[in-house]
Homo-oligomer: A and B are copies of this chain.
Amino acid sequence: MNPSGLEALIEALRCLPGIGPKSAQRLAYHLLQRDRSGAQRLGEAVLHALQAVRHCQRCNTFTEGELCERCASPRRDPSLLCVVETPVDMNMMEQTLSYQGLYYVLMGRISPLDGIGARELGLERLLARALDGVVKEVILATNYTNEGEATAHYIAAMLRPRGIDVTRIARGVPVGGELEYVDAGTLAQALRERRACST
């Protein structure tokens, strides 16, 4: 019962994750009725980003050049390669100010339920990247979820036989965390992976 241009917009909005038919309709009305300049910017920004944004040839993150800033920088240590799931995770790592190596961004994780295996994730590109002869250690910083863990195991099994050091970021009680509020699984891991006190 809507005009066709509006129907097409409602249908197109449904490509956004988490947006069903009712929400799509509400968003479309909002854009056309309350925020036409925002809608104009949105339409142009989507089309521009599709044109301009691509993947870094080395680390696979989003970039507008051949290489991203980090991969192009001479000040990073090329012998360290940190594997993360998304660009957001990479930004989180950068905010720690305690890592000076390079990255590889998977842009996902192994997730058989969603039909994403090693092939769909393009892990052979990571393999080629890690075997460039300069990388000595690969640090796995995928999430500590089931999918993130499975991804880490797969990558470790893929790289270790090729003579690359593979490490995993530590898991344990968060800094500032109180034992009372930490879940039992985390606490059990923290106990199992305890380390000698430095004095």
Q: In this complex, which of A1, A25, A38 has the most chain B Cβ atoms within 10 angstroms of its Cβ? A: A1
In the bound complex, residues from chain B placing their C-beta under 8 Å from that of A3 are 52-53, 62-64, 68
Q: Is the CB of B5 within 8 A of A16?
A: no
Q: Which of A86-112 contact B (CB under 8 A)?
A: 86-88, 90-91, 94, 107-108
Residue interface mask A18-43, B partner, CB < 8 A = 1: 00000001111111110110111111
Residue interface mask A47-67, B partner, CB < 8 A = 1: 111111100000000111000
Residue from the list B45, B68, B87 in contact with A8, Cβ < 8 A: B45
Q: In this complex, which of A39, A50, A88, A90 has the most chain B Cβ atoms within 10 angstroms of its Cβ? A: A50
Number of interface residues of A (CB under 8 A): 53
Interface residue? A145 (CB, 8 A) = no
Given A1-B91, A2-B87, A46-B9, the answer on whether A38 and B53 have CB atoms closer than 8 Å is no
In the bound complex, residues from chain B placing their C-beta under 8 Å from that of A15 are 31, 35, 38-39, 41-42
In the bound complex, residues from chain B placing their C-beta under 8 Å from that of A36 are 50
Given A12-B38, A38-B15, the answer on whether A31 and B46 have CB atoms closer than 8 Å is yes
Q: Is the CB of A8 within 8 A of B107?
A: no
A151 to chain B, nearest CB (A): 16
Given A5-B48, A48-B8, A91-B1, the answer on whether A42 and B62 have CB atoms closer than 8 Å is no
Interface residue? A77 (CB, 8 A) = no
Q: How far is the CA of A74 from the CA of B65 in the complex (A)?
A: 59
Show 30 residue pairs from A and B whose CB-CB distance is below 8 angstroms, ordered by the A residue.
A1-B90, A1-B91, A2-B62, A5-B48, A8-B41, A11-B41, A11-B45, A12-B38, A12-B41, A12-B44, A12-B45, A12-B46, A15-B31, A15-B38, A15-B39, A15-B41, A16-B27, A16-B31, A17-B27, A17-B30, A25-B88, A29-B87, A31-B46, A32-B50, A32-B62, A42-B43, A42-B46, A43-B43, A43-B47, A46-B46
